[in-house]
Structure 1
Amino acid sequence: MTPVGTSLADTVEQELRLPDIDPDYCAYAAFDRASCRACVDACPPNAWVLSDESLGLDTEACNGCGLCVQACPTGALHIEFPWVIRHFSGKALALFACEHTGIPAGNDLIPCIHALGIRQLVVMHTAGVTNLLIAQGDCDNCPVACDSSQRLTRLIEELNQILVQRHQAPIKILAYSNTVWQKIYRQEEIISQGTLLKRRAFMGGAASTGNTQQQMVVLDPLNRNECRTVPPGALLPDPASEANCLWPWAPQLDPDNCIGCDACIKLCPTDALQSHDTEEGSSYLVQAKYCTGCNICADVCMEDAIRPLAWSPITHHSVSLIEKQCTNCGNPYHVPDGSSLADANKCPVCNRPAHQSLSA
């Protein structure tokens, strides 16, 4: 029911701003011991309601800022963002403006500049866009209440380290006033080598080079279904070398503390952790490109032997396993080479103090 004093148009617009929720990808819904509360922590109006049994959204409290979408590690949340590109001199320029800048509606505004997340930025970069033209309001006094006016800048700085390491062009942020941004949006001004040129001056100079065609393209790669839940690392180009290679998320496996229970392997939703069997033997494989940072592996590990770290290299890409047979229960088991249990003769279950006391 539409609240008294609220128009139907306002109600429809508010509902369109609500994030779409895909429970199949939500870490909290997938695993009852998941510690993920990224959407809850990122939400300025505290619209996300978390309990031991459920995760819900207070639709009346939600302001549609999209910060939860950027924060969700698994891509379970989504809001449609307009994506506007201008092409000039073979370069693609992406334009984003916050709706709190004072720029009139109808200019493809987004709720908050800082709602752009790593997936959107990587997809943008893959589409050939390395220049991000933004107009933003006063973040420190914004009604959305974003906790930092530098959030997007810091995110791009971290991402650029990964891109440069892979010999890719970094992403540049170009911030403009509302007036200039609107002129660029309407193509009344053109950017050339970082300099704003009046339309007349640009056309005069372009005539001598034959480059008189301007083009505006509205694409939708940010909103493609197949890109919403793909691990950020899988959207990046593969590195030339794995040595010291940075990743958005890198699972750190500690062979000394790992007991080889396989719990993280079985519960990893993206196969960033795998068990690999060959004629030479078995091993654990860590593939950071598939890690989302959902933290389920750490939540299930009772030995604190694994944890995903952001913007980091992998310490162990492969961990060899030693095959053994438990002298207590007789079942086969394996432990990492170098584990504290490598010299023991009991499987991880029988080796637990509680199990030993029950057996006694």
Structure 2
Amino acid sequence: MIKLFGVMQNTGYSPVKPESNHCIAMFHKNVECCDCKAVCNADAIMIGRPGTGISVDNSKCTGCEKCISACNYGAFKRSGMTEKKWCDSLIESLDAGELVLGCRQVKEKNIRAINCIGSVHAVHIFYWLTKGIKKIVFKFGDCSSCKNTSGLGCLLEQLYSLETFVSSFSRCSIDRYYNETGITVFADGFAIRSISAGLKNRGIGRRDFFKTMGRELLIGVNEVADAFTVKESSAVDFSGKNELSQRVSLFREAFASVKHLVKEGFSFDRRIPLCSINIDKEKCSGCGICIKLCPTGALRLDSDGSLKHVSFYCHGCGVCVKACLKGAISLNDKVLI
């Protein structure tokens, strides 16, 4: 996609790259997850049978990137850029702890442009808060006149999940204010240290200039290369299932800095990659099907042959629940770390 005068022009490739090994629909036929398709107004996403892969129709994709936030398991990424790099690029050089984001309809100065406010996930916001951002302003135009009509609704759902999650931390708080042109989020108690003044205040020397320009050029080249090399459908490699998605890696980095502030168990939410499960040992036969199909490697057999679960590796996808023929596994409403 190329943005010309605020309008995304379709150039035959998508800025979104699917990563099928993180799609839970690839691990069991009864999972019934299609959140990405539900938010795609262009019907550009295709989900194959388990083990086959997911793909994006480049000729239909509008470049809104809502599928990235809609997938709570990190099965989509921005071409040529990791989620951490994307998050860091938006707060780079901010010295006042304030981030202003605007969708493609907003024509104001001094904002960080994103394709759609619905492309921001709760984990992205959580990461920014732990990096010293205390105020985030989401500016948007008339969603009803945009092809991506559900952008605002997607963002509000993410904010609600984050607020519920944060309620389990001591000294941390989030307040949200809404008007016709934007949503302002105020946060307190997250950051151990403030973000440093970046290039904006200390000036840019020749070395910094070329270093920055080189990085931006490399990202642009990678975006194009990534987009054109995406296969229509790539088979899932189950041997690499223990590899963390970018979403989970980003969450872990943010959570590590505020873990000591946890005051109680979390209420389970699919948007936050933490989950506990209940295992009925009387029903469990130790067949190991759940271990084989778990996308994150959160299940394993203990030395005594009993099933062991690690909450920190689990993101609550429910594959193990669907896979268990004995009905020995269920998701817990509370997550204890």
TM-score (norm 1): 0.59
CA distance in 1, matches of 2:331, 2:140: 32
Q: Alignment partner for residue 248 of structure 2, among 205, 216, 230?
A: 230
Q: Which residue of 2 aligns with 1:343?
A: none
CA distance in 1, matches of 2:31, 2:178: 39
- Written as runs of structure 1 = structure 2, the 5 A alignment for 1:40-51 is 40-51=37-48
> Does 2:126 correspond to 1:122?
yes
1:45 aligned partner, one-letter code:
A
CA distance in 1, matches of 2:58, 2:110: 24
1:83 aligned partner, one-letter code:
L
CA distance in 2, matches of 1:117, 1:265: 28
CA distance in 1, matches of 2:28, 2:263: 31
Residue 170 of structure 1 deviates from its aligned partner by 3.0
> Does 2:101 correspond to 1:113?
no
Give secondary structure in 2 for the equivalent of 1:75. Answer: coil
Q: Which residue of 2 aligns with 1:96?
A: 101
Q: Which residue of 2 aligns with 1:152?
A: 155
> Does 2:90 correspond to 1:83?
yes
Residue 243 of structure 1 deviates from its aligned partner by 5.8
Question: Alpha carbons of 1:266 and 1:162: their partners in 2 closer, same or farther (altered >3 Å)?
Answer: same
- Written as runs of structure 1 = structure 2, the 5 A alignment for 1:244-255 is 244-247=265-268, 248=272, 249-255=274-280
Q: Which residue of 2 aligns with 1:326?
A: none
Counterpart contact for 1:135–1:176, Cα < 8 Å: no
CA offset digits 1:73-110 (Å, max 9, x no partner) = 3212112556146323xxx1122111123x16995311
> What stretches of structure 1 of length at least 5 have no aligned partner?
1-8, 182-191, 194-213, 318-360
Moved more, 52-61 or 31-40: 31-40
CA distance in 2, matches of 1:308, 1:231: 22
Counterpart contact for 1:119–1:227, Cα < 8 Å: no
CA distance in 1, matches of 2:118, 2:335: 28
Question: Alpha carbons of 1:22 and 1:95: their partners in 2 closer, same or farther (altered >3 Å)?
Answer: same
Higher relative contact order, structure no. (Cα contacts within 8 Å, ≥ 6 residues apart): 2
CA offset digits 1:297-348 (Å, max 9, x no partner) = 2332223433447xx4148x8xxxxxxxxxxxxxxxxxxxxxxxxxxxxxxx
Structure exhibiting the larger radius of gyration computed from Cα positions: 1
> Does 2:15 correspond to 1:18?
yes
Counterpart contact for 2:122–2:161, Cα < 8 Å: no
CA distance in 1, matches of 2:42, 2:28: 26
Counterpart contact for 1:130–1:169, Cα < 8 Å: no
Question: Alpha carbons of 1:168 and 1:304: their partners in 2 closer, same or farther (altered >3 Å)?
Answer: farther
Q: Which residue of 1 aligns with 2:66?
A: 67
> Does 2:143 correspond to 1:135?
no
Moved more, 128-137 or 281-290: 281-290
CA offset digits 1:203-236 (Å, max 9, x no partner) = xxxxxxxxxxx8599999xx9x987242676342
Counterpart contact for 1:125–1:171, Cα < 8 Å: no
CA distance in 1, matches of 2:70, 2:160: 17
Question: Alpha carbons of 1:108 and 1:77: their partners in 2 closer, same or farther (altered >3 Å)?
Answer: same
2:127 aligned partner, one-letter code:
V
Question: Alpha carbons of 1:262 and 1:105: their partners in 2 closer, same or farther (altered >3 Å)?
Answer: farther
Counterpart contact for 2:69–2:121, Cα < 8 Å: yes
CA offset digits 1:96-154 (Å, max 9, x no partner) = 111123x16995311211211133122212212232111112234432121x7343233
Question: Alpha carbons of 1:131 and 1:173: their partners in 2 closer, same or farther (altered >3 Å)?
Answer: farther
CA distance in 2, matches of 1:26, 1:314: 22
Q: Which residue of 1 aligns with 2:287?
A: 261
> Does 2:179 correspond to 1:161?
no
Give secondary structure in 2 for the equivalent of 1:114. Answer: helix
**Aligned residue-pair number:** 263
Say which structure is richer in strand: 1
> What stretches of structure 2 of length at least 5 have no aligned partner?
1-7, 188-199, 204-211, 220-242
> Does 2:297 correspond to 1:292?
no
Counterpart contact for 1:69–1:77, Cα < 8 Å: yes
CA distance in 2, matches of 1:269, 1:227: 10
Say which structure is richer in helix: 2
Question: Alpha carbons of 1:174 and 1:28: their partners in 2 closer, same or farther (altered >3 Å)?
Answer: same
